[in-house]
Amino acid sequence: MLPDKGCVGFNCLQNGCWYTAMAFFNSFTAISTAILAGGIVLSASAGQSNADETLTRTELCGKLQLQTQHALTEHAEAKRAAKAKALQKQAANFCASNKQAQGIRDYAQALKLLGVRPVDD
C-alpha cells in the first residue's frame, strides 16, 4: 500500500496509512540507538582515562610513606606502634633500593598494625 498524502504522524494508523507510521517509528529507533551508542562510547572513554591515572610503584611508595608517617604520629601510643615503626623503616629501605613491591607490602602491614586502611590508588 502506498502512503496517502493525508497521513501525518500518529494519525496514519487511524487512516490506515501504516507506511508513514513505520517510517516514523524506524527513525525514532535509529535516533535512540545512536544516543545509546554515544553514551556507551563516552562511558568507555571515561573508564579508560581512570586507568591512565594508575600510580607507579614508586609513587605508591611515596604515598604510603606519607600515610604511614601520619598514622604513626596519630597512633603513637598504640600497642603495635614500635613494630609499625620498624616496618616503616624496612619499607623505606626496600623502596629506596628499587624493591618497591616489598616496600609497599611492608607499608601496608605497618598501617594495618595501626588500624589504618592503606591507600589503594
What is 5-62 written as a DSSP string?
TT--TTHHHHHT-HHHHHHHHHHHHHHHHHHHHHHHHHHHHHHHHHHHTPPPHHHHHH
Q: What is the C-alpha to C-alpha distance for residues 26 and 13, in angstroms, rounded to an integer? A: 15
pLDDT digits (tens, 9 = 90+) for 3-43: 555 555 555 555 555 555 556 556 656 665 656 655 555 55
Q: Which pTM value belongs to this model?
A: 0.57
pLDDT in tens, 45-68: 555 545 557 889 999 999 999 999
Instruction: Please check whether residue 43 is in contact with residue 101, taking contact to mean a CB–CB distance below 8 angstroms.
Output: no
Question: What pLDDT, on the 0 to 100 scale, is given for residue 97?
Answer: 95
> Residue 9 — left, alpha, or beta (φ > 0 → left; ψ -120 to 50 → alpha)?
left
